[in-house]
Amino acid sequence: MNRDRLANVIQLREEGRAKQDQTILEEARTLLLELVAAYPDDAEITYQSGVVHDNLGLGPQAIPFYTRAIAQGLSGPDLERCLLGLGSTYRALGKYRQAETTLRRGVTEFPDNRALQVFLAIALYNTQQYKEAMELALTNLLETTSDEKLQYFKRGLSYYALHLDET
């Protein structure tokens, strides 16, 4: 497998995503599907095929690529992004329990990824786990905001984030 070829296709996909250009994304999709056919056991190619389907708004078609890439041993930053893509796609399709399971795995394996935590908070909201959803959302907000009014109340709000049911 020529990694330069894959890198060029990824660059094309990124360009299409940045420009929101369906024609470029379709071209990248065609090229990735050719690569998947030629290298069906390559986790990175499989994963990138999932991403391009997601970029095109084809979530249901992205899921099998994401799950296969994970099964093929995807690791590192690609696994991190794959779990986020898969979890958010499940959530967007109303598959909230699958989203929660996937995003919890992502948060466990990549605890510093705030996007995974926030997507998990949304999935928890969708599964009516409001307390945990609010804890995650508030904690992430308070740990990342530079808003001075929120910073002024940070200690109190941080306490309340973990004790939402107390009066």
* Residue range 37-50: mean pLDDT, rounded: 97
Go through the chain and tell me how many residues it has: 167
> Please, are residues 37 and 28 in contact by the beta-carbon 8 Å criterion?
no
The confidence score (pLDDT) of residue 12 equals 96
| Banded model confidence at residue 34, pLDDT cuts 50, 70, 90 | very high
The confidence score (pLDDT) of residue 1 equals 65
Closest CA to 99 of 59, 139, 51, 58: 59
> Residue 160: which H helix or E strand, with range?
helix 154-162
For residues 139 and 134, what is the distance between their CA atoms, to the nearest angstrom?
A: 8
Tell whether the model's pLDDT for residue 102 goes beyond 80: yes
For residues 69 and 41, what is the distance between their CA atoms, to the nearest angstrom?
A: 9
For the chain, the first-to-last Cα distance in angstroms comes to 61
Tell whether the model's pLDDT for residue 104 goes beyond 90: yes
Dihedral sign from CA coordinates of 109, 105, 78, 144: negative
The confidence score (pLDDT) of residue 45 equals 97
* Residue range 139-154: mean pLDDT, rounded: 95
Check residue 36 and give left, alpha or beta (phi > 0: left; psi -120 to 50: alpha): alpha
